Amino acid sequence: MRIERLVTIDRSRLPEPGPSGPASFPAIEKSTLPNGLTVWTVRHAQVPVVAFSLLIRRGASSDPLGKHGLAAMTADMLDEGSGDRSAIEIHEAIARLGTQLETDIGADGIVAGFTVLSRFADRALALLADVVVRPAIRGEDVVRVRQLRLHRLTQLRDVPSVIADRAFLSLIYGDHPYGHSAIGTELSLATMSVDDVRAFHELAIRPSVATLIAVGDCDHAGIHRLALDAFGSWHGVAADGEPANPALPQPPRLSIVPRASAPQSELRIGHVAVARNTPDYHALVTANMVLGGQFSSRINLNLREDKGFTYGARTAFEFRRRPGPFVLQVGVQTSATAQSIAESIGEISAMVSTRPITTDELRLAAASLTRGYARNFETADQIARAATQLALYDLPDTYFAEFVPRVEQLTTDEVTGAVARHLDAARLTTVVVGDYDAVGADLARLGLGEPVILSPETF
């Protein structure tokens, strides 16, 4: 039997997709417990799971001076025993739910949570409260966990991408609360005591700065009731978490952390840029898609697809509550180190001078952000993460619904203007983790001054 062709195809041109339907973000139901804890739920019952996420709006930037790493250490201690239950008993209780506790520590927040089969939702929520509200924080456990973190720090000293990130943050922020990485340093961890951890829990892990988010096969009234039982005894108001901003340093334009005979150089290029609440947010996200935010962006096409210098290059505005960094991250073959830096700075600089974003580029960038927007909200985890962003950055519930039209309405003038306001090629700081003997002479010829040699112990 001959198969009838129902569709005619034309390989002389690509099919033009029709418009995408509107992406809808499901409604968030909200309530507040008497202790100040806000409870958000989203019903998303396609699969019998519930994603729980407890956000604390205090993160590594709340680490006291000299105690860098305390927020992360405290987050790590949450599941190391609760009430009179030992660390092992808590680990086993979580494992019996078929899941594991994830704790994520950022500059502005701590998120603790897990996804469970919905038949375990009640037990999971009670357990989440046990670990967050009533962690045991015993001296012997603090010593053990601190030792593990010190060992981890030792190992990270050999990971080029981590060395580069740490050096970059320290150079551009100095003593600013964003200038250290969440894990802290050997020096700060060495003096961290059980009292420090307990004090941080008392000051920061409090319902006044917390939002409980539950997404999935659950309903708001049920979660509210369970939360009242589980979190009801939690009290207190968190200490002010946003100390004054010290002045930012003026870093050298070019630095290198020597890594003898490294086959690649790990590069970070950027500067302190802009906070999450900037009115230029949509324009910058879109401009970044042109510059380095996706595979088909300028810098990746240049360094990878044209020159073959790297496995991949990316740029990002890392939006935070206070001005976060703009950064280019790339690992390049050693022999192409100086040329890659010159090309990268050239691409960044060209966007605000010789090659502003074109209409076609803007259309492509906006389409790649908007047309597939719906896929960002497919799973309970994704929706929980999205809701967490709203809570962390004080965004309105309408934020996701407004994102697509906001981006679609951008003009080239608006995105070019935003880039010019927040990206400054003359202020870029470049950090290289690589083979100094092989690349030092080339670096000196970049016109960025003699490279400053950084010792890993200094950041």
Please tell me the distance from the alpha carbon of residue 414 to that of residue 412, in angstroms, as a whole number: 5
> Pairing mode, if any, of strands 254-258 and 429-434?
parallel
Q: Is 45 or 221 the residue whose CB approaches other proteins more closely?
A: 45
Helix (H, G, I), strand (E, B) or coil at 83: coil
Please tell me the distance from the alpha carbon of residue 82 to that of residue 112, in angstroms, as a whole number: 15
Q: How far is the CB of 423 from other proteins (least distance, A)?
A: 22
Please tell me the distance from the alpha carbon of residue 407 to that of residue 341, in angstroms, as a whole number: 31
Q: How far is the CB of 434 from other proteins (least distance, A)?
A: 9
Please tell me the distance from the alpha carbon of residue 341 to that of residue 334, in angstroms, as a whole number: 12
Q: Is 158 or 394 the residue whose CB approaches other proteins more closely?
A: 158
Residue 25 near residue 400 (C-beta atoms within 8 A)? yes
DSSP H/E element including 430: strand 429-434
DSSP H/E element including 317: strand 310-317
Q: How far is the CB of 244 from other proteins (least distance, A)?
A: 37
Q: Is 99 or 170 the residue whose CB approaches other proteins more closely?
A: 99
Q: Is 3 or 244 the residue whose CB approaches other proteins more closely?
A: 3
Q: How far is the CB of 26 from other proteins (least distance, A)?
A: 11
- Where b means 16+ CB within 10 Å and e means fewer, 423-459 reads bebeebbbbbbbbbebbbebbeebebeebeebeeeeb
Q: Is 240 or 360 the residue whose CB approaches other proteins more closely?
A: 360
Q: How far is the CB of 298 from other proteins (least distance, A)?
A: 12
Q: Is 96 or 235 the residue whose CB approaches other proteins more closely?
A: 96
Residue 102 carries which DSSP code?
E
Q: How far is the CB of 226 from other proteins (least distance, A)?
A: 20
